[in-house]
A = this chain, B = another copy of it.
Amino acid sequence: MKSPSQPRDRGIPEATVARLPLYLRALHGMAERGVATVSSEDLAAAAGVNSAKLRKDLSHLGSYGTRGVGYEVEYLVYQISRELGLTQDWAVAIVGVGNLGRALANYGGFVSRGFRVAALVDADPEVVGDTIAGLNVEHIDELEAVIKRRGVSIVVLATPAAAAQEVCERVIAVGVTSILNFAPVVLSVPDGVDVRKVDLSIELQILAFHEQRKAGGPLMAVDSQ
């Protein structure tokens, strides 16, 4: 338990970052089941990746394993959490309280670790004032004020496509630099602002592509011309 060589490369590959939450989830499950120690092989299986990749990923954070034994679950949970910035509390605002926004507000996974839905905002006077998931829905005119007042640093866009770019610009103007976008548009943002996009219909289209291939099969007798 001595201080393990300062390893933080300050440069963790993007692909690795994207997998850390996966490992974290698997580790949480193990911690709950009382597992104290886990090998790269087992953890990799639980996370659905291969063990070499997992080891290389973890090696980017430092040498937190013990050769011949594996990784201490609790310790690794802490290290990954810290690396991902989950040891602090992130205030999230959800803009757009339609079906999707509502689902997100109620989604347990958000609140669980590190994130807190701090504000709900919508333009429709019909829903402004309603209470959803214990929160009062505020009017879009209050957007900037709410973000500042609640210390929101991550904004989730669940608005109609047409509204997304404008909302995006407004929140950036008051200092937000992390946006999770569910609206089916390409947002244009200045450098330094991070946008991640979740697009349900794109995922379906990718599935359809593969499904079509399978249906045709290797000896596809379709309209090959």
Contact = CB atoms under 8 A, between A and B. Distances in A.
Contact of A153 (B20, B84, B211): B211
A9 to B, nearest CB: 12
A123 interface: no
A202 interface: yes
A145 interface: no
Number of copies of this chain in the oligomer?
2
Residues of A in contact with B, size category:
35 or more
A83 interface: yes
Contacts of A99: 99, 102-103, 106-107
Given A85-B211, A103-B100, A92 B204 contact: yes
Interface of A: 3, 6, 17-18, 20-22, 24-26, 46-48, 83-86, 88, 90, 92, 98-100, 102-104, 106-107, 109-110, 112-115, 153-154, 177-180, 184, 186, 188, 192, 194, 196, 198-212, 214, 224-225
